[in-house]
């Protein structure tokens, strides 16, 4: 589309549609070219990022008299959310000034800062949730009290002594080996598979 047809807008829409040709539908809106990443599946976002990087490389390979620089700057400004700053910087010519890339750099840095702050909020919420769960666990330990195992205690699943092994307590407060509780075919001691 870029080399043969010179359909630059079509190439950008193709990238926005994750590499799928879609005809216009009645009542449907045209794809928004604002670079918004909200409510998109991760697979689509990754595909769009890859396609936009290919399109950027095509624009950079074009001669300047064919509009290569103008198309590149337009793409960087309009689709900055799909073009990762660390990858783009390596591709750009070294003689391009920071002023040319000012709008793209500002958007990329703002987005990076926003994502950083978002991650800090998520981390803070996770720490708060962790503290709440720990408090509930401590309260549960206080109400249930300690579990005392003697040499006479046996596993309610296999009938072997529980002492000197890793054990767990079931919901009905029975003490069993950890491996007996985790095996799907474990059956409490004294039960049978069917009618006798």
151: CB partners within 8 A, 6+ apart: 161, 163
> Does the pLDDT value for residue 113 go beyond 90?
yes
Q: In this structure, is the dihedral angle defined by the CA atoms of residues 105, 92, 16 and 113, taken in order, positive or negative?
A: negative
Give CA–CA dist 135/143, Å, rounded. 12
Q: Which of 12-21, 30-39, 79-88, 187-196 shows the lowest mean pLDDT across its residues?
A: 187-196
83 neighbors 53 (Cβ within 8 angstroms): yes
CA-based radius of gyration for the chain: 31
Q: What is the pLDDT of residues 144-161, one digit of tens each?
A: 777 777 878 888 888 888
Q: Six-digit token pair at 167?
A: 């054990």
Angle formed by the axes of helices 8-16 and 68-78, nearest 10°: 30
State pTM to two decimals: 0.53
Give me the chain's average pLDDT, please.
79
Give CA–CA dist 46/50, Å, rounded. 6
pLDDT at 120: 96
Q: Answer with the residue of higher pLDDT: 19 or 177.
A: 177
**What is the Cα 104 distance to its own chain's centre?**
24
pLDDT band, residue 171 (cuts 50/70/90): confident
pLDDT at 190: 45
> Does the pLDDT value for residue 133 go beyond 90?
yes
pLDDT band, residue 24 (cuts 50/70/90): low
pLDDT at 126: 96
Q: Which of 30-44, 68-82, 96-110 shows the lowest mean pLDDT across its residues?
A: 30-44
141 neighbors 170 (Cβ within 8 angstroms): no
Angle formed by the axes of helices 68-78 and 42-61, nearest 10°: 160
pLDDT at 192: 40
Q: What is the pLDDT of residues 59-86, one digit of tens each?
A: 888 877 777 888 888 888 888 888 888 8
> Does the pLDDT value for residue 38 go beyond 70?
no
pLDDT band, residue 124 (cuts 50/70/90): very high
> Does the pLDDT value for residue 185 go beyond 50?
no
Give CA–CA dist 110/44, Å, rounded. 23
Please report, for residues 10, 12, 24, 87, 164, the alpha-carbon distance to residue 21 in angstroms, rounded to integers and kept in the order given: 10, 11, 10, 27, 66
Delimit the domains of the chain by residue range: 8-101, 147-196
3-state secondary structure of 135: helix
């Amino acid at each position: 589309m870029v080399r043969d047809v010179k359909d630059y807008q079509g190439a950008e829409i193709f990238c926005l549609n994750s590499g799928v040709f879609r005809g216009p539908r009645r009542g449907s809106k045209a794809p928004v070219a604002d670079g918004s990443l909200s409510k998109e599946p991760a697979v689509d976002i990754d595909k769009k990022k890859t396609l936009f990087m290919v399109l950027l490389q095509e624009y950079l390979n074009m001669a300047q008299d064919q509009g290569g620089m103008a198309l590149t700057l337009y793409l960087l400004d309009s689709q900055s959310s799909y073009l990762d700053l660390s990858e783009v910087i390596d591709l750009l010519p070294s003689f391009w000034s920071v002023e040319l890339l000012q709008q793209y750099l500002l958007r990329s840095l703002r987005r990076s800062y926003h994502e950083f702050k978002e991650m800090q909020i998520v981390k803070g919420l996770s720490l708060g949730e962790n503290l709440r769960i720990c408090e509930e666990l401590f309260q549960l330990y206080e109400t249930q009290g300690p579990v005392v195992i003697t040499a006479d205690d046996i596993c309610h699943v296999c009938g072997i002594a529980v002492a000197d092994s890793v054990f767990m307590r079931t919901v009905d407060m029975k003490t069993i080996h950890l491996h007996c509780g985790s095996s799907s075919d474990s059956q409490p001691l004294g039960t049978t598979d069917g009618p006798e």
